[in-house]
Structure 1
Amino acid sequence: MTGSEDGWGSLMGKGLSSGACQAVPDRRDARFSRRLARRAALAAVIAVGQFGAIRAQDEPADHTTRSSGSLEPAARLPPVTVYSSRKRIANPNPKPKPKPKPRPAKPAVAVTPATPTTRRTNAPALPDGVVLNGGPPVTQTTAGPVSGYRALTSVSATRTETPIERIPQAVAVVPRAVLDDQQPLGLMDALRNISAVTPMSANTFIGYAYKVRGFPADRYVDGLPNYYDGGDNTSLVNTERIEVLKGPAGILYQGGIGPVGGIINTVSKLPTENRFAEIGVTAGGYRLWDTWFDVNQPIASGGTALFRMTGDVEKSGDFVDVIEHRRYALNPTLLFNDNDGTRLTIQGSFSSRSFQNYTGLPGAGTVDRSLFTIAPTLFPDRPDLGRSWTTYNGVTARIDHEFNAVWSANATARVSEMRLEQFGHFLGTDTPLFGSTFPFLSFHLPVDTREIASNANLVAKFAIGPTRNTVLFGADSDRVADNIRDDVGFAGLVDFANPVFPAYTPPTVSAFNSNNLYVNSGLTTQWQSDIFERLHLLAGVRLANVYIHGTDAVAGSDFITDAWKPQPRFGAVVDLVKGVSAFADYSQGYRGVPFFNAAGAPKPEEAEQTEAGLKLALPSGFAGTIAWFTNTRRNVTNLLPGSLFLATQVGEQRAEGFDADLTWQPSAGLSILASYAHVNAIVVQDQLFAPGTMLERVPRDSGRLWVNYKFQDGWLRNVAIGAGLYAASAQAVALDNLYFTPGYVTFDGKVAYETDHWSLGVTGKNLADHRYFVPYASGSGYVMPADGRTVLAFGKLRY
């Protein structure tokens, strides 16, 4: 294994094409037999005592706080006041209060209509600490309040709903309003809105190679890991927002393949008390036809039982010859609310994708045409190759309970299965053996993964003197058991200048056959405090455990990694003036190494980041985050000198730079989104590559600009127009830095007519039809062409 795309990417690099698991190693990656994980059991027992005299602002004045036995509260701490999460206005002429009644719990989520109204009197109350300073009226969504393109709070960053301006970390959010305006083709397209994010390549089956700020990142769904990210990982029909935490968030997120660069958390839509149904169609370029629906139906009065279901079905061709895509996603959700402090949410996710396996093209003949040329749209296999496929089936349950005005708790668990059946051919090397001739290998890669992920939190909110505090005690575990086998065979030599591809014959010799068990788990304590409403502190610590038990029948290997590490996190935000805050933070990451060929067991990989920047909420609706960062990654796997497959862990990499995510909404109907990142991601220490070598798939500079305007009155009322661009500089294709894909700029646009009940429009991607290559996700020396000009028509009905 090399230091490129972290274990799985290297493993998948040359073989498991399609990004999915390209599991046939090249000469450096050649035998990634191994690993995945053993299991661990971690239980958290949190004993909580009552302290201080507690007086809840949300309860009647004559409410008597119950004391615990003989404890004398006044002798312990100063008076403690529970603070409300909503601002309240005192009544100057209070009326006598009736006898106390049972305190109502949070009602089932009721969503403000998506179309902004000019009447602010009906706007939802804002959480304490949110500064609007202009911009569109606030809309309450099932993922939190938003003001047009600006999300006002985040749950992902702290696992408590916190105003983004009070979080000492760079957090970028893409709300549903942005997705509806831009009409992205999938998650990979939507992630371009966020600075310093490298999404998965198109035509990949699983999501093993996301990057944030140059280092590996994982996609979570509703705060839980999604190992391998299989099934239909492109659909946005069930997405309410996308939250990206930049840098390691180790005290809260450890599960998955390895979130040392950041977390991409997809937050799902939830049921509401408003009955509605939507159906829509998108059709156009590359024979795309996508039909989607979103149905919300209360099934009991008073919001005690709600149901919502989203889904879409898509069929399309591809910019690459031969490839035909098929996919579907179904997402049912039930929500039960006893209106007395307890909510139960049950979510299902069932999806599938299939298309012909795609391995990418070599750098020779594409980005380097000095000796020969390969057609960019070439499908490097036989046209009669069958479709590989991946499925995902999972069920998630979450319970939320309020014990009283101070204490609340939540617990979430997900059980899922991901399957992958991938087969075809791939290039044995990324450079020709001679002339334009490459070795061609066949492979068959079946993967069966079972995952149980869980997270439980106990939260207290209270005030002491001039401080408002939130304390969280958490426990989480991610248990993944998988079986992965890669059969490989030599299929012949192929001249890519005049290719004739051999028929596919399933190989019979296994390169590896692994049964693995991974368990990432830990206990977390976190404290947030607002002091005099001007200084906002965050501190926490996690006791983290990485347990891996990997066996390989081919290599005859059997190893166990069982490592523990305390991880700190701390940061602060200082409000300088209204709408401008400065922040700084320190955080760590910790992850298991899934594939490792060596005599001993691998050590967990570590990362640590320091970061500082500004949070903005300026007049005229100008808001965002600007940050400077340095993230260092250690225990990176490298090959031993002179070895084709034996590895050691002496590598170190560093990413540093600057990024900004901004929105500006100066007037009704006008919304502007802008992002920019400068990331210098390099090798610091490696036994094969010199210090200063650029990391693969990380543009030094990249940025996004999008402007959308919807006419508010006149004969053009309800007409919306949008235009944007995305730009990225050159990227290394692999760690050897032999090939680089050139920089590029693409333009997109939209024209639509939008009402509350229906809309029609046309959107265009890459309008200048710029032809360019991007690195393939494996990070092992392959490239793929980006889509050319694509024009799509879309429509929606709502009733």
Structure 2
Amino acid sequence: MAGDDPIVVTARGRPEAQLAVPDTVTVFTREDIVRRKLTTIDDFIAETPGVFMINDQDPGTNMITVRGVSTNRNQSPSIAYVVDGLALADSELFTLRTYDVARVEILKGPQGALFGRSASGGAIDLATSDPTNEAGGLASAGIGNGFTWTVDGVANAPVSDRVQLRLAGSYRNTDGFIRNSYLGRKVDGFISRNLRLKARIALSETGTLKLRAGWANEEGGAAYISSGNVTGLYGGRLSGDALTDPQGDFEGRASREWWGTQAELEQELGDRLLLTWRSSYDNYHKDFVEELDFRHDTPLTLDGIPLFPNGIQPISQPVDIEAWTSELRLTSQGAGPFRWHAGVFFQRLERDRTDDLGPLLFGAEPQRAETRSNQIGLFAQASYDLLPTLETTIGLRYDRDRRKEDTVGTRTGTTYARRARTFEKWQPKLSIAWHPTDNFTTYATGSVGFKSGGFNPLPGPSDIWSANFAAETVKSLEAGLKARLAEGRLRVALAGFVTDYSNFQNTVFLGNSVVLSVPKVDVHGIEASAQADLGLGFGVDAGAAWTHSRVGRYTTPNPTPEPGEPSILDLEGKRTPNAPDWTVNAGLGWQGTRGAAKIDARVSVAYVSRVDFEIDNILHSPGYASVDGRIGVDLGSWSLEIWGKNLFDRRWAISAFGQQQLPLLLGLGPGGPFDSFTINTGRQFGLGATRRF
């Protein structure tokens, strides 16, 4: 259906017209990526209504929320991040720099039937550029404020009729944008180095082998966190005078290195079947050091006692990851009324994380959490045309995740705890889509997703959390329509959804990062998008998502009880963390020629409504808007651009944790209590040039 739609997606495991897919799918083509200056996964998410991302403390720690379904810190993600057909094993890998990208698709709603566990919120499907049979490439360089400069390059080399190679690299160096008022210098500078080599080998007329090897190395500032009594002075509202610069006396630092390989074999089995095998290996190490008081007052007191003469520093949290991932899939070929695919998936994850809390250990040895996960998935999906205009799709996946975790002393090797649990789930998906014409689709979809439970730090006698927490299950219903009008010059889409959470995994800081399960969360919402060709070179696009995500019936012990406060908190009706009610995007572009020059100009605005950073809804960022712009000039083999992000230099908090959830911050002094938060970088702008050869 919708066979002449120029936008093709692979959301359901085969190339299809976007208009025909019974899911909400946001697509960024190579042209979109250039025009919108999308260079990180943050950029793609910021351009996608209904999706929100928190970057926190260091380059690898992130939380992505899709339609109210949010990732919890240091545990299984809520969104599958797929690169060249295989899901990444850990959210630490999500923020590796994107470059030489051919296409990005963002699917909203549970996608467990196709992508398995950790796709309860949706999936990000990223395809890097393949080698081609044409020799050439490009080199680009840019400079921007914060003494930021970038260099990117691509070289495509056909070795023979059967073998093609593609080498791509990206380098970024910046002094940063956030100034520590006590140290008197910027503290968010970093260097990012990246390389990728891909090979495409035609084994026969029906078989193709693709190989990929990649490497990334980053180092720079981290945990540039501000501190102040936002709860007491501003009622938890992080705006205006509350948004102070960092003032700690210890400069946080992070470095990380990743390398990985992937192989993909595609073999046609006659005219009707395609066999695909993919396998990858990822190796990742991160060093991270920070302070936990984010102050320069010494001695630092806790409940009035001067326990920390030099502050709470250094705190070290290194992470090591090894992952092996494989998938074997059989897909039907052809455009007949019955289309299907089936496969088996395996992923082995080894993750070691040390929490060396320094002075807070009071001489005790740091402990390392050694987590091992073995996931096996069996999946199948079939689509059948009941009528020439009516399609039904049934998908089903079974995932079994065997997880174990040993808590080990880093100095003595003592095993403090040894835990193991198995999480398994059948994840069905059913869709029905009506295509009365090639330019119109209306559909209804029901789907189930889940993410594994896990293990908290061992609780003490007075702690309110349990050693283990349950798996999270998401059930969703979606109905929508998509249409192309005015001879394809106008595209519109509208979708409504209802989602039911069970055992929402809420991350809380209680001396360490722990998960408290919320039995029920109710989510519903509406999304709409439109793109229009206005003529005379002008085009407009817009999207809006309203997501009402609220805690159901839930009471929990008060983590920071003060005199006169209840010992049990009733949090029913609270907003879920990191899930704004509204996300809105709009852009206006113009493309035209002036003499030999092709000009491409675009201005866009993004709005995010109130963001609550914790489940008590005290610390929050009010709604904010950001305006971006870019002008590109194409002069044949040369391209020039000038660009800006957040042109009006708006400031807001991008993450926070507060005294009402963390007893340490409540008791810190002198001058406490305190809340901690991270501010955004403010306005960025720059110039760039690209030479194609």
For the aligned pair, the TM-score class normalised by the smaller chain equals 0.7 to 0.9
Give the one of 480, 503, 517 matched to 2:349: 480
Other-structure match for 1:206: 60
Give SS of 2:146's match. Answer: helix
Matched, 1:618 2:449: no
Separation in structure 1 between the aligned mates of residue 484 and residue 92 of structure 2, nearest angstrom: 38
> Given that residues 579 and 612 in structure 2 are in contact (C-alpha distance below 8 angstroms), is that contact kept between their aligned partners in structure 1?
yes
Shift of 1:165: 2.0
Larger Rg: 1
Other-structure match for 2:649: 769
Separation in structure 2 between the aligned mates of residue 653 and residue 441 of structure 1, nearest angstrom: 37
Give the one of 304, 325, 330 matched to 1:453: 325
Give SS of 2:576's match. Answer: coil
Shift of 1:590: 1.9
User: How many residue pairs are counted as aligned between the two chains?
Assistant: 626
Matched, 1:700 2:581: yes
Matched, 1:222 2:87: no
List per-residue Cα deviations over 1:509-559 (Å, max 9, x = no partner): 455311111122211111012344311221011122121111112572212
Give SS of 2:90's match. Answer: helix
Separation in structure 2 between the aligned mates of residue 367 and residue 172 of structure 1, nearest angstrom: 41
Matched, 1:682 2:550: yes
Separation in structure 2 between the aligned mates of residue 295 and residue 643 of structure 1, nearest angstrom: 49
Query: What one-letter code is carried by the residue in structure 2 that aligns with 1:654?
Result: D
List per-residue Cα deviations over 1:452-472 (Å, max 9, x = no partner): 111111112367xxx611111
Other-structure match for 1:412: 278
Separation in structure 1 between the aligned mates of residue 248 and residue 294 of structure 2, nearest angstrom: 13
List per-residue Cα deviations over 1:442-493 (Å, max 9, x = no partner): 3111111100111111112367xxx6111111111221011111111237xx
Query: What one-letter code is carried by the residue in structure 2 that aligns with 1:661?
Result: S
- Residues 423 and 445 of structure 1, relative CA distance in 2, 3 Å threshold: same
Q: TM-score, normalised by structure 1?
A: 0.73
- Residues 297 and 536 of structure 1, relative CA distance in 2, 3 Å threshold: same
Structure 2 counterparts to residues 97-176 of structure 1, below 5 A: 129-132=2-5, 147=6, 152-155=7-10, 157-176=11-30
Query: What one-letter code is carried by the residue in structure 1 that aligns with 2:32?
Result: V
Separation in structure 2 between the aligned mates of residue 698 and residue 552 of structure 1, nearest angstrom: 32
Give the one of 115, 124, 131 matched to 1:253: 115
Structure with the largest fraction of strand: 2
Of stretches 386-395 and 232-241 in structure 1, the one that deviates more from structure 2 is 232-241
Separation in structure 2 between the aligned mates of residue 758 and residue 434 of structure 1, nearest angstrom: 63
> Given that residues 252 and 291 in structure 2 are in contact (C-alpha distance below 8 angstroms), is that contact kept between their aligned partners in structure 1?
no
Give the one of 191, 196, 200 matched to 1:326: 191
- Residues 130 and 366 of structure 1, relative CA distance in 2, 3 Å threshold: farther
Shift of 1:649: 4.3
Other-structure match for 1:732: 612
Other-structure match for 1:135: none
Structure 2 counterparts to residues 257-406 of structure 1, below 5 A: 258-301=118-161, 304-321=162-179, 322-323=186-187, 324-358=189-223, 360-362=225-227, 364-365=229-230, 369=234, 376=243, 378-382=245-249, 385=251, 387-406=253-272
Shift of 1:218: 3.8
> Given that residues 232 and 327 in structure 1 are in contact (C-alpha distance below 8 angstroms), is that contact kept between their aligned partners in structure 2?
no
Structure 2 counterparts to residues 544-583 of structure 1, below 5 A: 544-553=399-408, 556-583=416-443
Separation in structure 2 between the aligned mates of residue 760 and residue 648 of structure 1, nearest angstrom: 51
Query: What one-letter code is carried by the residue in structure 2 that aligns with 1:451?
Result: A
Give the one of 314, 333, 340 matched to 1:471: 340
Other-structure match for 1:743: 623
- Residues 746 and 601 of structure 1, relative CA distance in 2, 3 Å threshold: closer
Query: What one-letter code is carried by the residue in structure 2 that aligns with 1:769?
Result: D
Other-structure match for 1:788: 682
Give the one of 371, 376, 382 matched to 1:521: 376
Identity of aligned residues (%): 18
- Residues 202 and 675 of structure 1, relative CA distance in 2, 3 Å threshold: farther
Give the one of 630, 635, 642 matched to 1:755: 635
Q: TM-score, normalised by structure 2?
A: 0.83
Shift of 1:404: 0.8
Give SS of 1:252's match. Answer: helix
Shift of 1:657: 0.5
Query: What one-letter code is carried by the residue in structure 2 that aligns with 1:528?
Result: S
> Given that residues 455 and 468 in structure 2 are in contact (C-alpha distance below 8 angstroms), is that contact kept between their aligned partners in structure 1?
no
Shift of 1:308: 0.6
- Residues 751 and 627 of structure 1, relative CA distance in 2, 3 Å threshold: same
Separation in structure 1 between the aligned mates of residue 685 and residue 516 of structure 2, nearest angstrom: 49
List per-residue Cα deviations over 1:588-629 (Å, max 9, x = no partner): 112212333576754322111111111122224222432111
Gaps of 5+ in 1: 1-127, 133-146, 492-505
Gaps of 5+ in 2: 71-78, 180-185, 296-300, 410-414, 459-464, 557-569, 663-674
Give the one of 315, 322, 325 matched to 1:443: 315
> Given that residues 254 and 521 in structure 1 are in contact (C-alpha distance below 8 angstroms), is that contact kept between their aligned partners in structure 2?
no
Give SS of 1:195's match. Answer: coil
> Given that residues 294 and 308 in structure 1 are in contact (C-alpha distance below 8 angstroms), is that contact kept between their aligned partners in structure 2?
yes
> Given that residues 651 and 687 in structure 1 are in contact (C-alpha distance below 8 angstroms), is that contact kept between their aligned partners in structure 2?
no
> Given that residues 613 and 626 in structure 1 are in contact (C-alpha distance below 8 angstroms), is that contact kept between their aligned partners in structure 2?
yes
Separation in structure 2 between the aligned mates of residue 699 and residue 204 of structure 1, nearest angstrom: 23
Shift of 1:676: 1.0
- Residues 644 and 795 of structure 1, relative CA distance in 2, 3 Å threshold: closer
List per-residue Cα deviations over 1:680-732 (Å, max 9, x = no partner): 111113332521110112211111112221114x5484122211111111111
Separation in structure 2 between the aligned mates of residue 202 and residue 720 of structure 1, nearest angstrom: 34
Shift of 1:755: 3.2
List per-residue Cα deviations over 1:723-742 (Å, max 9, x = no partner): 11111111112111112111
List per-residue Cα deviations over 1:387-413 (Å, max 9, x = no partner): 321111110111111011111110111
